[in-house]
């Protein structure tokens, strides 16, 4: 009789332990599979209090939320056989816990399978499309209204040969794309979705996060940019040389015109001055011919005598006024 209370306590304790062990809780954002003796027995996808057989059933929980996948960058060839680095990311969720447990069992193995599936899909899609389809997402680059930064200062309706080379640099039209990066991402998703349902996984989306040129392609791009900049610089130099030659020609023409006009006006002024001087000389001569002759002789002596190194004779008529103011 004394042992009966102990047995009752032990029985109640075992009952509590068994009851506690037979119940488990699935939280919001979780789902689970029940494994009984190594075999999948049940799948729980709703939150709440669940029942299992204690010590026989084991519960494996999986998240039912959307999860992210970040892959490693891949060096892939495009349709033109130009290599680029492609970095992708994806979102996925477990939609069939039964298939997920039977095929991959764990999240780490699921990531490994996604690596294989998505990387293979990215490689297939990128290699079958041109590089511009992967880099660009629309043709808006050809619709943007640009300021004509290379336009010559001349009016468009009155172009000269030098300005045409500058204007031609602004008429570049980029090749149009047919798909674009978003469409390629959708194609990658479609390709990967052919396999992922086998693992109980649903892909939400796959996004090309980043694209970089490989080293050899980067060098090629830089060389092309340098060549284009050199062509633009040469066009500017040619345009400048052409304008310089035209302006110098206009300047020389204007200079000759100004010089010719100035020479004409100078000659007219000189002619008028000579006429006035001749009239003054004639008037002076008519008033006093002897004084006029005397004055002209003195002016001549002032100009010529300082230049004589020696005089052999002063008996010439030219020197008459040196000895006599009357010139005799």
**End-to-end distance of the chain based on CA atoms, in angstroms?**
191
At residue 170, the pLDDT reads 52
Return d(Cα 284, Cα 200) in angstroms, integer. Answer: 131
Which segments of 288-325 does DSSP mark as H helices, in order?
A: 289-304, 320-323
Q: Where is pLDDT greater, at 280 or 61?
A: 61
Alpha carbon of 204 to those of 23, 112, 186, 193: distances in Å?
33, 18, 11, 10
Q: What is the mean pLDDT of residues 91-107?
A: 93
Average pLDDT, the chain: 81
Strand-pairing partners, residue 86, are: 74, 211
pLDDT interval class at 185 (50, 70, 90)? very high
Query: What's the CA gap between 104 and 305, in Å, rounded?
Result: 128
Which band of pLDDT confidence, cut at 50, 70 and 90, is reported for residue 247? very high
pLDDT in tens, 268-325: 998 888 888 888 877 877 777 777 777 777 777 777 767 766 665 656 666 666 666 5
pLDDT digits (tens, 9 = 90+) for 123-136: 999 999 998 898 88
Question: Helix or strand or coil: residue 177?
Answer: coil
Q: Is 32 exposed, middle or buried (0-12, 13-18, 19+ CB in 10 A)?
A: buried
Residue (of 57, 65, 60) closest to 33 by Cα position:
60
Please name which of 186, 190, 78, 90 lies closest in space to residue 134, comparing C-alpha atoms: 78
Q: How confident is the model at residue 153 (pLDDT cuts 50, 70, 90)?
A: very low
With beta carbons less than 8 A apart as the criterion, state whether 91 and 209 touch.
Answer: no
Q: State the average pLDDT over residues 26-35.
A: 90
Rounded to 5 degrees, what are φ and ψ at 310? Answer: -155, 150
Rounded to whole angstroms, the Cα distance separating 256 from 245 reads 16
Distance CA 23, CA 48 (A): 10
- The rounded percent of the chain whose pLDDT value lies above 90 is 35
Would you give the DSSP letter of residue 179? S
Q: Which residue has the higher pLDDT, 271 or 216?
A: 271
CATH class of the domain at 67-139+174-213: alpha beta
- Does pLDDT of 267 surpass 70? yes
What tokens were used for 106? 């764990």
Residue 182, pLDDT above cutoff 50:
yes
80: pLDDT strictly greater than 60? yes
Does residue 25 register a pLDDT over 90? no
Q: What is the pLDDT of residue 192?
A: 95
Residue-wise pLDDT for 137-152, tens only, equals 888 877 776 655 554 4
């Amino acid at each position: 009789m004394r042992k009966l209370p102990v047995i009752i306590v032990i029985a109640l304790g075992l009952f509590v332990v068994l009851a506690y062990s037979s119940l488990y809780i699935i939280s919001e954002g979780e789902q689970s599979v029940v494994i009984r003796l190594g075999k999948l027995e049940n799948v729980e996808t709703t939150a709440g209090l669940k029942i299992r057989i204690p010590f026989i059933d084991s519960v494996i929980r999986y998240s039912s939320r959307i999860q992210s996948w970040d892959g490693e960058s891949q060096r892939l060839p495009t349709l033109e056989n130009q290599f680029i680095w492609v970095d992708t990311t994806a979102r996925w969720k477990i939609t069939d816990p039964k298939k997920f447990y039977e095929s991959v069992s764990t999240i780490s193995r699921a990531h490994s399978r996604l690596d294989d599936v998505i990387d293979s899909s990215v490689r297939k899609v990128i290699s079958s499309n041109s590089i511009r389809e992967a880099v660009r997402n629309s043709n808006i680059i050809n619709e943007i209204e640009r300021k004509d930064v290379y336009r010559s200062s001349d009016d468009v309706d009155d172009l000269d040969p030098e300005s045409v080379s500058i204007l031609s640099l602004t008429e570049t039209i980029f090749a149009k794309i047919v798909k674009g990066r978003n469409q390629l991402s959708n194609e990658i998703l479609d390709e990967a979705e052919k396999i992922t349902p086998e693992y109980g996984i649903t892909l939400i989306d796959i996004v090309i996060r980043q694209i970089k040129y490989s080293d050899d392609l980067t060098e090629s791009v830089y060389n092309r940019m340098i060549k284009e900049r050199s062509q633009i610089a040469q066009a500017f130099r040619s345009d400048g040389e052409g304008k310089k030659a035209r302006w110098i020609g206009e300047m020389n023409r204007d200079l000759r015109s100004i010089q010719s006009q100035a020479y004409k006006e100078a000659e007219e002024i000189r002619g008028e001055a000579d006429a006035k001087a001749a009239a003054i000389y004639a008037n002076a001569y008519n008033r006093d011919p002897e004084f006029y002759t005397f004055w002209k002789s003195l002016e001549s002596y002032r100009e010529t005598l300082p230049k004589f190194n020696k005089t052999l004779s002063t008996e010439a008529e030219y020197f008459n006024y040196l000895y006599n103011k009357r010139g005799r």
